[in-house]
Chain A
């Protein structure tokens, strides 16, 4: 897909454990910020798509009362109850329909509001797993991590190195919650054990925050910016419930990536992609994603990590922003990946700018053990 829809503006809040703001104020901050970044006003926006969740917000129709801060009053407006990257997909489709030119996309999550790990439990099978009280998003991730480690000889050190890389990168991201410039592998391996092999520093930090982006059609882009991040490809796929699929690989991410690559005309992802922002709720998922995205062979995620290729100074930097291990406001996470990829291809990533990135990958996921995955390929001019 060449030059049809582009990201032309973005904004994020700071990610915090307990922000001193309501959900509405977080959304207002990124809505105003994203429009300002694009140099447009609310009047220029045709459609508004948000990502939020009834269960996380503790109210049904969770987009109700987000209409005001999102500037969506009496506009074409809708939402997804999924990761924010799916809101970007929805908005992109609205533009591709030909009926809309400019979309404002916002994802928001406020972990300080909800009982942190209960919504994850509510995503489980209610007739068996939920009632037994053993599974939750962290224990499920631990079962996935063990299955992956066992299949390919991946070690806890390989996984800890993902945390070290990302949380050190986060020190260059002023909006990240966990900034740990001096973190060592030993410190990760000494952090609080949750469900083996998942430790506190291998798991996402529940966060408050929001992210917004502005998408525009090819017709409108030239009037908005000379530096767009074009959406060159997108793919998404939905796998089985966690107990009904092999947990040692991310098949739906592989299929999502293959569709996105086909659309973007990418034959050799490791060579052609300059940078990737992966939605890793748990450190081992980043290694699994390397494999699913074709950055290395099946089972070689640990080796790729150890080669240093995915460090910020490596040949294929992954999560220069710090990734989802450094800030994790549910429903904003995938949109934050798209935002970072946009900043990098536009050369606007400040201290963590990777030089010469023309093509970047952004990933989003929803569901326990990364059940659904979406991949965007973004490219600069």
Chain B
């Protein structure tokens, strides 16, 4: 947006010739979660104090201020807690660009879990999505990376 007495807008963009890469460890708990997914299992952790089950697993129950060590295997089915029909996505430049076809995104609470996973919703028309509907995870047989094992959720029953 060019204004009248431009002090700065004659300056071109300056590129810094470095790209910072970060190599986070996902930690033992998320590694166990991903290893479980490879075997088609959803592994969560349970708080020893309040019994709350975290999926994806977390190390500490914030409510009880307790380290959690008990692993529980959860079903691959759950409840759709919320959803959105995406008409856009954030592009590489950080702006919202229109998608060619809208995409459903769902927030799913697995049976027996108290926290949610966010993933794509497929095998249903956008108008068919309902909060409270039962959904089932669809796992990728030959994933591109460990995160792609959980491909999407579909309606169940």
Tell me whether B39 is interfacial, beta carbon within 8 Å: no
Are A147's CB and B94's CB within 8 A?
A: no
Tell me whether A273 is interfacial, beta carbon within 8 Å: no
Tell me whether A225 is interfacial, beta carbon within 8 Å: no
Residues of A within 8 A of B82 (CB): 143-144, 146-147, 150, 247
Interface residues of A in 120-141 (CB under 8 A from B): 121, 125-129, 131-136, 138-139
Residues of A within 8 A of B24 (CB): 126-127
Known contacts: A116-B95, A134-B120. The answer to whether A143 contacts B1 by CB under 8 A is no
Known contacts: A20-B6, A20-B8, A128-B147. The answer to whether A139 contacts B84 by CB under 8 A is yes
Tell me whether B124 is interfacial, beta carbon within 8 Å: no
Are A133's CB and B8's CB within 8 A?
A: no
Residues of A within 8 A of B1 (CB): 16-18, 20
Alpha-carbon gap, A117 to B96, bound state (A) = 8
Alpha-carbon gap, A121 to B58, bound state (A) = 20
Are A22's CB and B8's CB within 8 A?
A: yes
Other-chain contact of A194, B83, B88, B117, B131 (Cβ < 8 Å): B88
Alpha-carbon gap, A22 to B11, bound state (A) = 11
Known contacts: A21-B7, A127-B24, A195-B86. The answer to whether A143 contacts B118 by CB under 8 A is yes
Whole-angstrom distance between the Cβ of B109 and the nearest chain A Cβ: 9
Alpha-carbon gap, A136 to B1, bound state (A) = 26
Instruction: State the interface size on chain A (CB cutoff 8 A).
Output: 43
Residues of B within 8 A of A127 (CB): 24, 26-27, 30, 56
Alpha-carbon gap, A44 to B117, bound state (A) = 52
Whole-angstrom distance between the Cβ of B121 and the nearest chain A Cβ: 10
What are the interface flags for B62-76 relative to A under an 8 Å C-beta threshold, 1 for contact and 0 otherwise? 100000000000000
Tell me whether A74 is interfacial, beta carbon within 8 Å: no
- Other 7 A-B pairs with CB < 8 A, given A117-B96, A128-B30: A16-B1, A114-B94, A147-B82, A194-B96, A243-B115, A244-B58, A247-B81
Q: Which residues of B contact A (CB under 8 A)?
A: 1-3, 5-9, 24, 26-27, 30, 54, 56, 58, 62, 81-90, 93-96, 105, 107, 114-120, 131-132, 147
Q: List 29 A-B contacts (CB under 8 A).
A: A20-B1, A20-B5, A20-B9, A21-B7, A21-B8, A114-B94, A115-B93, A117-B90, A118-B90, A129-B118, A131-B147, A133-B90, A134-B118, A134-B120, A135-B105, A139-B105, A143-B83, A146-B83, A147-B107, A150-B82, A193-B88, A195-B86, A198-B84, A240-B62, A243-B115, A243-B117, A244-B114, A247-B82, A247-B107
